[in-house]
């Protein structure tokens, strides 16, 4: 497991004076971050987690705070909370290799072993690459290629000469094809960001056939398992696993990423 991030956060420094004025806590965000790091290094992981949680209470959304918080929970044996915050850190910074590696390590300790549909090797490689890129970057590439294709088509309409039009046609076709590929990649990233996912926070949770405690138990999931949220109803979530098994769980037993 990779240790905490100890670099000072510029964002926390900027928020320090405003956050310190709030009645939530006497410390500034930067002081809390440093206190959390010091507590972690001394092995006081519960104190470290409390400090990082207070930073999040100020409204700070920083992947480094979430990453350190996840490590603190992992050291306490709180697998669900650790996986939840690794997932949240990666939503903010998909390129964080340490967070991704730690998440995979933590997932390896989950009791549930869900069999997912096998993804062909080339597709898996593409997914792994996209998972490490931000949606903003993919969107910028798509916009650039889309504009390039449109511009080339416009030039092609005005161009004269068979050879020149032919070359521009090839370029416009290539740019258009790449724009389509980038558009598909952007759609994948948007789906990853907007998909409603939740992590099981209790040691074990029975998944029921309906949104009430007297329904039939279909199967049981354990702490740290990630579920897809399909529906919500009166304190219950309809959830599913990658293998298509689905049912209802109390909303208090899980927490959304």
How far is it, in rounded angstroms, from Cα 85 to Cα 58?
17
- Greater confidence (127 vs 184) lies with 184
The predicted pLDDT at position 128 comes to: 80
CB 4 within 8 A of CB 71: yes
- Same domain for 49 and 91, yes or no, is yes
The answer to the question of residue 227 being in a domain is yes
131 band by pLDDT with thresholds 50, 70 and 90: confident
Lowest mean pLDDT among 59-73, 116-130, 157-171: 116-130
- Same domain for 174 and 238, yes or no, is no
Which CATH number do you get for residue 203? 2.30.30.40
Lowest mean pLDDT among 74-78, 89-93, 139-143, 185-189: 185-189
E strands along 209-250, which residues? 217-222, 226-233, 236-240, 246-250
DSSP 109-143: T-S----PPPPPHHHHHHHHHHHTS-HHHHHHHHH
Over residues 196-216, the mean pLDDT reads 95
- Same domain for 24 and 100, yes or no, is yes
Total-model pTM = 0.76
121 band by pLDDT with thresholds 50, 70 and 90: low
Residue ranges making up the domain that contains 167:
121-194
- Same domain for 24 and 83, yes or no, is yes
- Same domain for 14 and 88, yes or no, is yes
Query: Mean pLDDT score of the chain, rounded to an integer?
Result: 86
The predicted pLDDT at position 14 comes to: 35
- Same domain for 80 and 148, yes or no, is no
38 band by pLDDT with thresholds 50, 70 and 90: very high
Give 3-state DSSP helix, strand, coil % of the chain, rounded to 5: 55, 15, 30
Which of residues 53, 73, 107 is at a domain's end? 107
Which CATH number do you get for residue 77? 1.25.40.10
- Same domain for 153 and 181, yes or no, is yes
The answer to the question of residue 148 being in a domain is yes
Q: Describe the crossing of helices 162-194 and 135-158 by its angle, rounded to 10 degrees.
A: 160
Lowest mean pLDDT among 3-7, 81-85, 182-186, 230-234: 3-7
The answer to the question of residue 245 being in a domain is yes
The predicted pLDDT at position 168 comes to: 83
How far is it, in rounded angstroms, from Cα 73 to Cα 175?
47
The answer to the question of residue 241 being in a domain is yes
In the three-class reduction of DSSP (H, G, I as helix; E, B as strand; rest coil), residue 80 is classed as helix
The answer to the question of residue 67 being in a domain is yes
Nearby residues of 143 by Cβ (< 8 Å), 6 or more positions away: none
Which of residues 107, 130, 147 is at a domain's end? 107
1 band by pLDDT with thresholds 50, 70 and 90: low
18 band by pLDDT with thresholds 50, 70 and 90: very low
Over residues 101-116, the mean pLDDT reads 86
In the three-class reduction of DSSP (H, G, I as helix; E, B as strand; rest coil), residue 7 is classed as coil
Based on the structure, what is the number of domains in the chain?
Answer: 3
């Amino acid at each position: 497991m990779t240790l905490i991030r100890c670099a000072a956060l510029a964002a926390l420094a900027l928020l320090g004076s405003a956050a310190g004025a709030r009645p939530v806590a006497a410390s500034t965000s930067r002081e809390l971050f440093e206190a959390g790091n010091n507590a972690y290094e001394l092995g006081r992981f519960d104190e470290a987690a409390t400090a990082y949680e207070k930073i999040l209470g100020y409204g700070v959304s920083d992947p480094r705070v979430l990453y350190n918080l996840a490590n603190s929970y992992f050291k306490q044996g709180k697998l669900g909370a650790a996986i939840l915050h690794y997932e949240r850190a990666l939503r903010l910074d998909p390129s964080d290799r340490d967070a991704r590696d730690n998440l995979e390590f933590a997932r390896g300790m989950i009791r549930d072993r869900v069999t997912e549909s096998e993804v062909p090797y080339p597709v898996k490689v593409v997914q792994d690459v996209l998972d490490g890129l931000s949606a903003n970057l993919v969107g910028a590439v798509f916009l650039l290629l889309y504009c390039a294709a449109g511009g080339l088509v416009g030039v092609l309409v005005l161009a004269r000469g068979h050879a020149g039009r032919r070359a521009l046609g090839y370029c416009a076709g290539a740019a258009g094809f790449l724009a389509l590929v980038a558009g598909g990649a952007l759609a994948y990233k948007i789906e990853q960001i907007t998909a409603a996912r939740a992590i099981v926070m209790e040691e074990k949770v029975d998944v029921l056939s309906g949104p009430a405690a007297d329904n039939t138990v279909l199967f049981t999931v354990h702490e740290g398992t990630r579920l897809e949220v399909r529906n919500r109803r009166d304190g219950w979530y309809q959830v599913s696993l990658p293998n298509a098994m689905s049912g209802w769980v109390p909303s208090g037993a899980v927490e959304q990423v």
